[in-house]
Amino acid sequence: MEEPPPRTAATSVCDSSPLAVSLCDSAPLLWRVGDLRSVRAQGLVGALLGALPRTPRQNVRLGRPLLLLPEEERLLTERHVTPPTAPSTDNQDGGVELQVQQYQEAQQRSYEEQSVLALEDRKSALLRAMTSSPTESGDESLQRRLVALESSFSFPRSAMAVQLSTARAGLSYCADARDFLRADWPIRAQDEPRRAARYQVFRDLRGRGFYLTSAGKFGGDFLVYPGDPLRFHAHFIAVCVSLDESLSLLDILAVSRLGSNVKKTVLLCSPGTDGRVAYTSLQWSGMV
C-alpha cells in the first residue's frame, strides 16, 4: 500500500526538546514516547492508532503513533512561540555520509574479528584431528602443519556473517523536512467558521482544566472529561455551533435524548463576541 512519504516539522517547546510532529497526508502524528509523554502532561489526549506487536488482532489497546486532533495540534503550535523551522540541508547531507562511513568501518572491524576467530577454529580442528588419530605424527609435523595453515589461511569476504537490522532502534525519524514541501504548510490552515468555533471552545474548556477527546461515537464534537480519561467517565458531549447558526429542533431533541441515555449532559457551546464562550446544558426533562 503506497502512503505519501512522511514529512516532518519541529514544533519547539520552550523548556525541553522539540516535539516531532509527523504529517501523514494531513494527519498530525507523534511517534516518540517522550513526545507522547510531554503532550499528555499538557493535558492533551489524542488517539492511539497503531497495532501493538504482541497483541495485534484487537483494537482495545492500541499503540503508537498518536493522532492529534486539529485543535490539539493548533494549541501546541500556539503555545510555542517560534514557528516550525527546517534544519539546514548541509548538516543533513554531512550526516548521511558520516553514517555510511561509520557503517563501512564497522563492517571492516567485524571482518577482521571474524577472520581471527575462523583461524582459531581451523587450528583447533586440526589439533583435534591430529591428536585423535593414533598414527605416527609427532609434534614436529603438527607444528609444521599449524604454521602452514597460518600462512596460507585467508578468510573469504563472502563467508563473512553480516547482521541486518530489521527494526530501527528507537523509532527516531530523520528530520529531513524538505524545503519545497514546506510550501504546503499554510494550505493546511482551516477556514470554516465551525472549525473556528470548535477551536475557541477547545481552548476555553482546556483552559478550565477539562480533558477533551473526539466525540464521533456520540454525534458531538468533543467528549469532556473532568480529569484524565483513564480515570474518569466523560461528563459532557460538547456540540460547537455559532450563536446565529440555525439548529433543527429535532436534532436538538435527538442529541439530548442520546446524551441522557449514556448519562452525559449535552453542551451547546458558542464563542461569543467578547471572547468568552456561552454554554447551555441540555437535559432530558423526564416529564412523561
Q: Per rule CB under 8 A, is residue 194 in the interface with another protein?
A: no
Residue 19 or 234 having the CB closest to another protein: 234
- Is 173 an active-site residue? no
The residues in 205-234 that bind another protein, with binding defined as CB under 8 A, are: 226
Q: Per rule CB under 8 A, is residue 253 in the interface with another protein?
A: yes
Cis upstream peptide for 5 (omega within 30°)? no
Residue 81 or 250 having the CB closest to another protein: 250
- Is 225 an active-site residue? yes
Q: For 59, phi and psi rounded to 5 degrees?
A: -130, 30
CB atoms within 10 A of CB 202: 26
Give the x-and-dash track for 268-287 against another protein (CB under 8 A).
Answer: x-x-------xxxxxxxx-x
What minimum distance in Å lies between the beta carbon of 278 and another protein? 6
- Is 233 an active-site residue? yes
Q: Residue 119 has which C-alpha cell? A: 583461524
Which of 103, 111, 199, 264 does the annotation list as catalytic?
264
HSE toward the beta carbon, residue 41, CA cutoff 13 A: 9
Residue 129 or 254 having the CB closest to another protein: 254
∠ CA 51-181-93 to the nearest 5 degrees?
A: 90
Cα dihedral 139/141/144/149 (nearest 10) = -100
Q: List the one residue from 236, 258, 261, 275 that touches another protein (CB under 8 A).
A: 236
Residue 107 or 265 having the CB closest to another protein: 265
CA–centroid distance for 146 within its chain: 57
The Cα–Cα gap between 44 and 72 comes to 7
Catalytic residues: 225, 233, 264
Q: Which residues bind another protein (CB under 8 A)?
A: 226, 235-236, 241-250, 252-253, 256, 259, 263-265, 267-268, 270, 278-285, 287
